[in-house]
Amino acid sequence: MKWILIAILIFVIMLIAIRLSDQYKDKYDFYFNLKNFLNQFKINVSFRQDKLTDFVANVKPKKQFKLFIDAYSEYLKTNKLNLSEIKILEEEEKNELTQIVMSLGKNDSPTEIMQLENFLISVENNLSSAQENKNKLCPMIIKLSLLFAIGLAILLI
């Protein structure tokens, strides 16, 4: 019975560690999808409001990026943007994203493309930072949690 409880404890600790490391993977995926979204936006959209709505409706996002697409779709309808459900982003990142969203579709095409290119530089910087964190912190969290779980198991034996 004791061994079963120790195995369950190790399992629970590892599940928590995996969930913690997933936030770094989700943040990387979010910025990767945002970069692709803005690139597609720059290439394919004529920047008219009805075209924006059609374009966003055809995007098939997953996880955290779906929350952004839903918030953006709502923004196109109501002109109010709510990014509070995107938990992986810090306030500064949400403010930057709000700035990006508020300016989409508001200018003529050359100005719009220039703004998108500037935003893409910022998104690329955030993407590289998220990738660095994902590659560095995810394995570290898993390994430290495993060591903690094994140490705790040894103490309980």
Longest CA–CA separation in the chain, Å: 70
Dihedral angle, C-alpha 137, 139, 141, 143, nearest 10 °? -150
pLDDT in tens, 3-54: 888 889 899 999 999 999 888 998 998 898 888 888 877 776 555 555 666 6
Which whole number is the average pLDDT over 129-154? Answer: 91
pLDDT of residue 61: 73
Q: Distance from first CA to last CA of the chain, Å, rounded?
A: 12
Q: What is the pTM of this model?
A: 0.78
Phi, psi dihedrals of residue 61, rounded to the nearest 5°? -85, 170
pLDDT of residue 39: 81
| 135: pLDDT strictly greater than 80 | yes
pLDDT in tens, 47-95: 555 566 666 666 677 778 888 888 888 887 888 888 888 888 888 888 8
Q: Please, which residues have CB within 8 angstroms of residue 58's CB and are 6 or more apart in sequence? A: none
What are the residue boundaries of the structural domains of the chain, listed by start?
Answer: 2-156
